[in-house]
Chains A and B, each alone.
Chain A
Amino acid sequence: MPILVVAEHDNHLLKSATRNTVAAAAAIRLDEIHLLVAGSGCALVAEQAARLDGIAKVKVADAAHYADHAAENLTALVASVAGGYSHVLAPATSFGKNLMPRVAAALDVAQISEIVAVESPDTFVRPIYAGNALATVKSGDAVKVVSVRTTSFDPVGDGGAAVVESVAPGPDLQLSRLVGQELTKSDRPELAGAKFVVSGGRGLGSGENFRSVLEPLAAELNAALGASRAAVDAGFVPNDYQVGQTGKIVAPSLYFAIGISGAIQHLAGMKDSKVIVAINKDPEAPIFSIADYGLEADLFKVVPELVAALRG
């Protein structure tokens, strides 16, 4: 039986998290992979989806009541098509985490959250206790409903030519409506999937310092900007900068933890980075125990020096 991947998109562009999720579907190595694109005015997204490497079919459900991708309406749709599939996958983004448990409940099956590896079609590995332990779990359910940690699976590229077919939209349950959005607009790359991340903590002292001290470093590396929970709670940067157990999980080639003490919950979000650099004036900061390179120094002095050294 084929595997269904629920695509994440904004009605215009397919989100990159979908590519990592397709990669996870490919790792299950069974039958065909199909993509479900549910949205409003999303024909372009269906076209992009059809070009993904390894997809046999794209099913499109286009209706006004799918415009905001709310879980209540989408669940009915996904549950209605899930019968023909052995697995239903979605990225473990706020979209996928919001949706997949509802789908699992609708099908009366377990949901497997945020897998980091596939051992077999019914056995998956997932982090627990803020990533301090890994659980290998086996599901006996007929349909496995799975959300995928995108940093654990390299995204698939283009190269496919899938068939695109329309599916009838499900009902509009009228339970929820989107009344506002405050999305961060930035020239910086997105945290998810960024190759370089510059992250700041409470040590930065202010949002203005994030701009004046960290942005030049991020710009030099074309890095994404991240933050610890403390920096977000203090109002230095918006919530979508937060890296950690309950924020974003990142695994870049290079992660700078600047003025970040290194609480367990923060480490959970970045400890899979290839190289970690810590800059902190507190020699006892726990971040140093996980850093490949630790610089015990005043960040306000050394970060500008670092920017100059990288430029020169």
Chain B
Amino acid sequence: MKVIVPVKRVLDFNVKVRVKADGTGVDLANVKMSMNPFDEIAVEEAVLLKDRGVASEVVAVSCGPQPCQETLRAALAIGADRGILVETDADLQPLAVAKLLRAIVEKERPTLVVMGKQAIDDDANQTGQMLAQMLGWPQATFASKVQIGDGAATVTREVDGGLETVEIRLPAVVTTDLRLNQPRYVALPNIMKAKKKPLASVTPAALAVDCTPRLTVLKVTEPPKRKAGIRVADVTQLVDKLRNEARVLP
């Protein structure tokens, strides 16, 4: 079974977000970029399937500028077999990414696409679902457990009220949630091995996909700042403040 794992290069989750004063966006100059944490969980899940003999090949795919190669190498280091870079400097939005991924899926014919449920930069939570719709495939989003069976997958999903388990026909798209797995520590030998694994490059034009963005970002601003708070010495003072100053107690 072939598994495709789309991975996105994003601002590292530990980096403090700085909004540019001119309102054009978040400052990404010279900041640390990493694989989207949810996509890392997706790569780990695919590699676990390979470790168990369920998957035969794991192909990582990334869409974006040339430095996305680093993200693909990171996926290869975790255990993916080869990488595909859809190289473009264009502003990519989920609809376009889903179309690029569809083109790759149509070429590669995987049984499963596993990807992060959302990217921690745009927090859109759309691409996996859009891809599944375009392919006419079922989806299982926010997965916390995945079991592959014969022609179907049983997936436990984290939903607002708790957990629900669905059985979906294969091929399918699964998007990962935090508790699906704990990505493995990647040791140096695997990082070195990853440098030799195949990494192909293709353009959106070659895939016949129009990536023109549909949404125009008019401005990016900081949210209103909260007023600075105070320390209270004890419970008595806290209750007094809540009752008489904040006036928020029932």
Q: A interface vs B, CB < 8 Å? A: 70-72, 75, 93-95, 97-102, 104-106, 108-114, 123, 127-141, 174-184, 192, 196, 221-222, 229, 232-233, 238-240, 245-246, 248, 253-254, 264-265, 271, 274-277, 288, 290-297, 302, 305-306, 309-310
Contact = CB atoms under 8 A, between A and B. Distances in A.
B223 A105 contact: no
B246 A292 contact: yes
A179 B248 contact: no
Chain B interface category by residue count: 35 or more
B98 A293 contact: no
B223 A93 contact: no
B216 A140 contact: yes
Interface string B124-135: 111111111110
B123 A128 contact: yes
A134 B222 contact: yes
B246 A275 contact: yes
A138 B132 CA distance: 25
Contacts, number: 252
Nearest to A291: B229
Interface stretch (B63-71, B77-85, B136-144): B136-144
Contacts of A232: 179
A286 B79 CA distance: 36
Kindly list the 9 A-B residue pairs having the minimum CB-CB distance in the complex, ordered from nearest: A101-B129, A175-B138, A110-B214, A180-B165, A101-B126, A132-B17, A105-B130, A105-B133, A102-B133
A295 B165 contact: no
A93 B160 CA distance: 7
A102 B214 contact: no
B239 A111 contact: no
A119 to B, nearest CB: 9
B154 A175 contact: no
A295 B237 CA distance: 10
Interface in B139-173: 139-142, 144, 154, 156-169
B19 interface: yes
Interface in B213-250: 213-223, 226-227, 229-232, 234-236, 238-239, 241-242, 246, 248-250
A176 B219 contact: no
B209 interface: no
A250 B123 CA distance: 16
